[in-house]
Amino acid sequence: MLVSTLLVTMMAVPGLALFYGGLVRAKNMLSVLMQVLVVFSLIVVLWMIYGYSLAFGGAGAVIGGLDKLFLSGVGPDSLAATFSEGVAIPEHVFVAFQATFAGITCALIVGSLAERVKFSAVLLFSALWFTLCYLPIAHMVWGEGGYLLDKGALDFAGGTVVHINAGVAGLVGAWLLGKRLGYGREAMPPHNLPLTLVGAALLWVGWF
């Protein structure tokens, strides 16, 4: 599980950052790289403060509780259950693994907003979306007593929590923001496709 945690981190930074960075224009490359890095880092911090508690603390149908706020009760000897019956792992490792999923999910949306949103707006949106959208879905699918989990949902890799969740958010964001300024009037070729290829390769390795 710890190796998987490192691989998911690699998928986001540098994998996703390079993938998006190569697709935008040269003048926006550093901005996109920083957005992915900072969004991922911000979400990991928020995850440790209250995200883990709301996603995996308590047994509500839609959202967890605050009993694990600031990782309260998570110690060297505490264990976390897995999807394999009777198999538990150190809770610190589970917290870290799930933190990378939360971080990369929010970072995925950056690509849909690239070149059209200010840095501060991306950070604000990411924090709000993480709190209001990601955490409830994560709890319902993965958390004890979660509504979808109790209905028989099986989603270890995050098809619902990560991909559908981020995909819908990205689609709505792109639709609301509209086209980039100058689209259709000036050329907007990708800045560096080799970087995109490297990023895609890292995503591919991390995923499989």
Q: What is the CATH number of the domain that holds 94?
A: 1.10.3430.10
H helix or E strand, kind and range, residue 28: none
pTM: 0.94
Helix 2-10 / helix 193-207 crossing angle, nearest 10 deg: 160
User: What are the φ/ψ torsions at residue 200 (nearest 5 degrees)?
Assistant: -65, -40
CA–CA distance, 162 with 135 (Å, rounded to integer): 11
CA–CA distance, 207 with 4 (Å, rounded to integer): 9
Residue 143 CB partners (closer than 8 Å, separation 6+): 55, 56, 58, 59, 64, 149
Domain hosting residue 62, numbered range: 2-207
Q: How many domains does the chain fold into? A: 1
User: What are the φ/ψ torsions at residue 61 (nearest 5 degrees)?
Assistant: -75, -35
- pLDDT for the residue 1: 84
Strand partners, 89: 80
Q: Which residues of 19-33 are buried (b: 16+ CB within 10 A; e: fewer)?
A: bbbbbbbeebbebbb
- pLDDT for the residue 43: 98
Look at residue 18 and give its three-state secondary structure: helix
- pLDDT for the residue 58: 85
- pLDDT for the residue 127: 98
Digitized pLDDT (tens) for each residue of the chain, 208 residues in all = 899 999 999 999 999 999 999 999 999 999 999 999 999 999 999 999 999 999 999 889 999 999 999 999 999 899 998 877 888 999 999 999 999 999 999 999 999 999 999 999 999 999 999 999 999 999 999 999 999 999 998 888 889 999 999 999 999 999 999 988 777 787 788 989 999 999 999 999 988 7
